[in-house]
């Protein structure tokens, strides 16, 4: 069996995805943005909104939190982005907001590379984008990177 036939194809036009796929995808998306947190924390060390959202995402991935509370956590991340001063910290907060919004709609995962590119630069950016591609679940890679 080839790798392509091992993983069923997910329709890239399906912006929502099944809840099972969103649970799998949120684990990857939050792993990606967790790696960016130091950029935000350097500027806003006392702001706990991103960590609270990531904890909510962990609970969602386990089936212990529903979409409604996850949306509120994502909105809190975007509020944190508005409170940030540097474009890099703002981008990290928006990336976390997109990552946790995967609970609501899988297509939010497609924004991670864009916000990572706003948060980092040079070799650090290149390493991070490679890490993201190497760790995306194989069954969802074609969906995320349409």
Q: Are the C-beta atoms of residues 20 and 137 closer than 8 Å to each other?
A: no
pLDDT recorded at residue 11: 78
pLDDT recorded at residue 16: 79
Structural domain includes residue 4: no
Structural domain includes residue 68: yes
Structural domain includes residue 2: no
Q: How many independent structural domains does the chain possess?
A: 1
pLDDT recorded at residue 9: 72
**DSSP 8-state symbol, 46:** T
pLDDT recorded at residue 7: 53
Q: Are the C-beta atoms of residues 104 and 74 closer than 8 Å to each other?
A: yes
Structure tokens at 24: 């799998």
Structural domain includes residue 6: no
- Structural domain span for residue 130: 16-141
Structural domain includes residue 82: yes
Predicted structure pTM score: 0.91
pLDDT tens string, the chain, 146 residues long: the values are: 344 445 567 877 777 799 999 999 999 999 999 999 999 999 999 999 999 999 999 999 999 999 999 999 999 999 999 999 999 999 999 999 999 999 999 999 999 999 999 999 999 999 999 999 999 999 999 999 98
53-58, Cβ contacts within 8 angstroms, sequence gap of 24 or more: 53/77, 53/96, 53/97, 53/100, 54/30, 54/96, 54/99, 54/100, 56/100, 57/26, 57/29, 57/30, 57/99, 57/100, 57/102, 57/103, 58/30
pLDDT recorded at residue 10: 83
Structural domain includes residue 10: no
Among the listed residues 51, 29, 13, 49, the one whose alpha carbon sits nearest the alpha carbon of residue 102: 29
Secondary structure of 71-120 in HEC code, one letter for each residue: HHHHHHHHHHHHHCCCHHHHHHHHHHHHHHHCCCCHHHHHHHHHHHHHHC
């Amino acid at each position: 069996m080839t790798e392509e036939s091992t993983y069923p194809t997910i329709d890239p036009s399906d912006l929502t995805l099944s809840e099972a796929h969103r649970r799998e995808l949120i684990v990857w998306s939050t792993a990606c943005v967790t790696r960016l947190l130091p950029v935000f924390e350097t500027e806003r060390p006392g702001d706990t909104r991103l960590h609270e959202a990531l904890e909510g995402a962990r609970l969602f991935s386990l089936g212990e939190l529903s979409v409604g509370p996850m949306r509120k956590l994502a909105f809190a991340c975007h509020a944190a982005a508005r409170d940030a001063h540097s474009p890099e910290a703002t981008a990290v907060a928006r990336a976390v907001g997109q990552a946790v919004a995967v609970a609501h709609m899988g297509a939010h995962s497609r924004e991670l590379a864009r916000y990572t590119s706003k948060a980092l630069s040079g070799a650090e950016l290149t390493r991070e984008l490679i890490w993201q591609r190497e760790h995306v679940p194989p069954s969802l890679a074609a969906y995320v990177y349409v």
